[in-house]
Amino acid sequence: MNKYKTELLVGVFVVMTVGAVLLLALNVANKSMTSDGDTYTLYAKFDNIGGLKERSAVKVGGVTIGRVASISLDKEDYTPVVKLSINQQYGEFPETSSVSILTSGLLGEQYVGFQPGFSFDGVANLEDGDYLQDTKSALVLEDLIGQFLFNRGSEE
Amino acid sequence: MKFLQSVGANTLAKVSAAGRAALMLFGALAAVPKAKNIRLTIRQVYVVGVQSLLIIIVSGLFIGMVMALQGYTILVDYGAEGSLGPMVALSLLRELGPVVTALLFAGRAGSALTAEIGLMKATEQLSSLEMMAVDPLRRVVAPRFWAGMISMPMLALIFSAVGILGGHLVGVDWLGVDAGSYWSIMQSTVDWDKDVVNGIIKSLVFALVVTWIAIFKGYDSIPTSEGISKATTETVVFSSLAVLGLDFVLTALMFGIE
Amino acid sequence: MDNLVEIDNMTFRRVDRVIYDGISLHVPKGKITAVMGPSGIGKTTLLKLIGGQLTPDAGDICFAGDSVVSMSRSQLYKARRRMSMLFQSGALFTDMSVFDNVAFPLREHTRLSEDVIATIVALKLQAVGLRGAASLMPSELSGGMARRAALARAIALDPDLIMYDEPFAGQDPISMGVLVKLIRELNDALDLTSIVVTHDVKEVLTIADYIYILADKRIIGEGTADQIRNSESELVQQFLKGEADGPVPFHYPANPLESSLFGGEQ
């Protein structure tokens, strides 16, 4: 076996692997989005998070601005605490902003909908580690049906 | 009584084989690699890696295409064909990439390794190396082991990438799924550390197991034509079973606990 | 130091089968010592014992005064550079040309430049008459040529001891003659010590300085070629003349045929 040819083909093999890694990193996993360096953290307490999971998107009007970093239960009042990591480039949200848990489509994944509040004098911007006060929980199908039946019952 | 004896004998044989396998690997890896051995390893990367490339690319392409076809017909009923991208990508990166690559590798390269080393033993080449004061573990076993460890993760990555492109070909170009949603939903679902890196870890574990079994079966084979053919078969059977079993354990460890 | 290899009261078992039962054997320096015996007696095993690839169950084996049995791994590898072995099949590396095969031990154990290696390889191949075949692959060689190429590889590092494992087995008369001549000439020209393990009586009697005959786990006869020819031992005579039946029975041990065929105990 020609040594030159062997080494050449091993080189081709390595280049193909690098190509595959680049494809996976940039096009598939979108590594630049998930890098930790340029994010800050916000917390939000919900009564019920429904089907929200780690790594669910945080969106403003459909634009992804960050992800759910972790979900835990507050040890004192037993409500779920969701840790959001938001990209630094979206760093200018006022304290009056609100978050709600929404569903994309009928059967789609749940995500955190972020509603920026109005900014006026005396309202500071949200900073790293702040809690969002205004939260709306996920809709639970059983609760909705229960409410619907209850209303029907009281009308008649 | 006879049954108990045969159970005992079998257990002893298995334990001593495991011991010999561990000693072989230790003997091969204890050596400090020399410049010459790096060249030998590159040569083996050619044999086990480059020569497996074609079958990996072709299989990856077809598996990606089939998954897109099957996934589309199911997802389109729920209007969720936009999830085709993440379905194809996650299945490939987490499972099919590492597992199918390991199975193909066992059949393509593992069996060849066993047969080659077994024949070197049968034709007294290993013995003759030893008599020339050259350690066959370092000269023959170590480069092949490292070549397997290097090649398999590379092959698995190429497999996954080609499969995702194959899914794109069928899903987007032929069935008309929106190209933007194919990529962007994939991007928002696939996580580098969790999916890609875990897939690489899986294929590293599979590489260790498959290459180790292949080399040991060759090194420990009975040096007759019957012994080598048996060893080659055992390599493929044992490493396939080991890969599938380990895959379950690894998946449970990596993705089971949210 | 008169003996390069000394085997002292050595016993070797394979699982529960005794191969050697307390044999002693001396290989004098600069001579050709032949070890003969019927096939299946474990003659190759003897060479592997001397090379330290196998360890005896009792007794001692010395190479150049040092015990092979008690050597550490690195000492053993050092000692092996001074011995070489010609395997029955030749054991050439099938993925290298004849040239690279002969150059292999030089490249592994020396830091000579490629020019020097090429010169040495050419000389060694010239000695076995295969300089013209340097670029052939082992699969293109005939059995006799493969053995000669392996011989060139065995002498590449100028060892003190060469062990020949059945060098004449399966050779046509011409290549047999070539090998006999080579063994004798190399031994004298390179000041080697040779051990030839074989069952080809006629060839060996012409070149060996001293002969041991192994049978039934023991040494049954020893001496120079003439002493062996005139031995009074029935066993030795049976072996020399190749008689079918004698002290070494024709039949593998078994029940009497009558009792096997006509009922009775199995």
CB–CB contact B192 A7 (8 Å)? no
- B201 in Cβ contact with A47 (< 8 Å): no
CB–CB contact A33 B89 (8 Å)? no
Task: Write down the ipTM of this complex.
Answer: 0.79
User: What does the pLDDT read at residue B241?
Assistant: 95
3-state secondary structure of B180: helix
> Which range scores top for mean pLDDT: A86-95, B235-244, C150-159?
B235-244
Q: In what order do the strands lie in the sheet with C17-28?
A: C17-28, C3-14, C58-63, C66-67
How large a percentage of chain A has pLDDT more than 90?
3
Give the separation between CA C224 and CA B199, rounded to whole angstroms.
Answer: 71
Across B174-178, B242-246, C41-45, least confident range: C41-45
Q: What is the mean pLDDT of residues C72-80?
A: 85
Number of Cβ atoms within 10 Å of the Cβ of C93: 17
The domain of B240 spans 43-251
User: What does the pLDDT read at residue B257?
Assistant: 57
Which chains are adjacent to chain A, needing at least 3 Cβ pairs under 8 Å? Answer: B
Give the separation between CA C146 and CA C90, rounded to whole angstroms.
Answer: 6
Average pLDDT of chain B, as a whole number:
89
Q: Which two tokens stand for residue C258?
A: 């009558």
Q: Which two tokens stand for residue C148?
A: 């000669």
Tell me the Cα Rg of chain C.
20
Q: For residue A67, list its beta bridge partners.
A: A57, A85
Check pLDDT > 80 for residue B183: yes
Q: For residue A102, list its beta bridge partners.
A: A111
How large a percentage of chain B has pLDDT more than 70?
98
Give the separation between CA A8 and CA A14, rounded to whole angstroms.
Answer: 10
3-state secondary structure of B222: coil
Residues 6+ apart with CB under 8 A from C176: C168, C200, C203
CA B195 from centroid of its chain's CA atoms? 18
Say if strands C3-14 and C17-28 run parallel, antiparallel, or are unpaired. antiparallel
Give the separation between CA B127 and CA C168, rounded to whole angstroms.
Answer: 20
Residue of chain C nearest B140, judged by CA positions: C93
Give the separation between CA C3 and CA C62, rounded to whole angstroms.
Answer: 9
> Which range scores top for mean pLDDT: A19-23, A76-80, A132-136, B154-158?
B154-158
Chain C contact for B47 (CB, 8 A cutoff):
no
Q: What is the mean pLDDT of residues C148-172?
A: 85
How large a percentage of chain C has pLDDT more than 90?
0
CB–CB contact B190 A9 (8 Å)? no
C237 class by beta-carbon count within 10 Å (0-12 exposed, 13-18 middle, 19+ buried): middle
The interface residues of chain B toward chain A in range 140-159, judged by CB-CB distance below 8 A, are: 151, 154, 157-158
The interface residues of chain B toward chain C in range 133-162, judged by CB-CB distance below 8 A, are: 133-135, 139
CB–CB contact B42 A7 (8 Å)? yes
Q: Cβ contacts (< 8 Å) between B127 and chain C: which residues?
A: 48, 53, 87, 91
The interface residues of chain B toward chain C in range 68-127, judged by CB-CB distance below 8 A, are: 123-125, 127
The interface residues of chain C toward chain B in range 41-70, judged by CB-CB distance below 8 A, are: 48, 51, 53
3-state secondary structure of C62: strand
pLDDT digits (tens, 9 = 90+) for C9-65: 888 888 777 888 888 888 888 888 888 877 777 778 888 888 888 888 888 888 888
Check pLDDT > 60 for residue B245: yes
Instruction: List residues of chain A with CB under 8 Å from any CB of chain B.
Output: 1, 6-7, 9-10, 12-14, 16-17, 19-21, 23-25, 27-31, 33-34, 53-55, 57, 64, 105-108
Average pLDDT of chain C, as a whole number:
83
Kindly tell me the sign of the dihedral angle through the C-alpha atoms of C170, C172, C178, C184: positive
Residue B80 lies in a domain: yes
Check pLDDT > 70 for residue C266: no
Give the separation between CA C32 and CA C54, rounded to whole angstroms.
Answer: 23
User: What does the pLDDT read at residue B115?
Assistant: 94
- Which residue has better confidence, C76 or C40? C76
If you search the block for the tokens 């009056």, which residue do you land on? A96
Q: Which residue of A7, A21, A27, A28 to mutate against B (max B Cβ within 10 Å)?
A: A28
Chain A contact for B55 (CB, 8 A cutoff):
no
- C12 in Cβ contact with C54 (< 8 Å): yes
Give the separation between CA B39 and CA B49, rounded to whole angstroms.
Answer: 15
Across A7-16, B24-33, B77-86, B248-257, least confident range: B24-33
3-state secondary structure of C28: strand
Question: Among candidates B254, B221, B28, B213, which has minimal Cα distance to B106?
Answer: B213
Distance from CA of A81 to the nearest CA of B (A): 16
CB–CB contact B131 C89 (8 Å)? no
Q: What is the mean pLDDT of residues B246-253?
A: 92
Q: What is the mean pLDDT of residues B93-114?
A: 94
Distances (CA, A) of C49 to B46, B131, C35, C57, C71: 37, 11, 14, 11, 13
pLDDT digits (tens, 9 = 90+) for A47-63: 888 878 777 788 888 78
Chain A contact for B207 (CB, 8 A cutoff):
no
Q: What is the pTM of this model?
A: 0.77
Give the separation between CA C134 and CA C128, rounded to whole angstroms.
Answer: 11
Which chains are adjacent to chain B, needing at least 3 Cβ pairs under 8 Å? Answer: A, C
Q: Cβ contacts (< 8 Å) between B133 and chain C: which residues?
A: 77-78, 80-81, 108-109
Q: Which two tokens stand for residue B147?
A: 């070549």
Q: Which two tokens stand for residue B164?
A: 């995702």
pLDDT tier at C69, thresholds 50, 70, 90: confident
A&B contacts, CB < 8 Å:
82
Give the separation between CA C259 and CA C265, rounded to whole angstroms.
Answer: 7
Chain A contact for B42 (CB, 8 A cutoff):
yes
Residue B10 lies in a domain: no
B231 class by beta-carbon count within 10 Å (0-12 exposed, 13-18 middle, 19+ buried): buried
B49, B79, B190 member nearest A13 (Cβ): B49
Kindly tell me the sign of the dihedral angle through the C-alpha atoms of B233, B235, B239, B242: positive
Q: Cβ contacts (< 8 Å) between C85 and chain B: which residues?
A: 128, 131
Residue B235 lies in a domain: yes
Distance from CA of B206 to the nearest CA of A (A): 18
Chain A contact for B77 (CB, 8 A cutoff):
no
- C60 in Cβ contact with C8 (< 8 Å): yes
Check pLDDT > 90 for residue A130: no
Residue B202 lies in a domain: yes
Residue of chain C nearest B130, judged by CA positions: C53
Residue B98 lies in a domain: yes
CB-facing half-sphere around the CA of C164: CA atoms within 13 A: 32
Question: Among candidates C39, C29, C44, C129, which has minimal Cα distance to C82?
Answer: C29
Residue B222 lies in a domain: yes
CB–CB contact B131 C51 (8 Å)? yes
pLDDT tier at A106, thresholds 50, 70, 90: low
Residue B166 lies in a domain: yes
Q: Cβ contacts (< 8 Å) between A59 and chain B: which residues?
A: none
Q: Cβ contacts (< 8 Å) between B130 and chain C: which residues?
A: 51, 53, 80
How many domains are there within chain B?
A: 1
Average pLDDT of chain A, as a whole number:
81
Residue B25 lies in a domain: no
Q: For residue C212, list its beta bridge partners.
A: C35, C222
Q: What is the mean pLDDT of residues A127-149?
A: 82
User: What does the pLDDT read at residue B32?
Assistant: 64
pLDDT tier at A25, thresholds 50, 70, 90: confident
Residue of chain C nearest B122, judged by CA positions: C91
Say if strands C3-14 and C161-165 run parallel, antiparallel, or are unpaired. unpaired
Q: Which residue of C88, C108, C109 to mutate against B (max B Cβ within 10 Å)?
A: C108
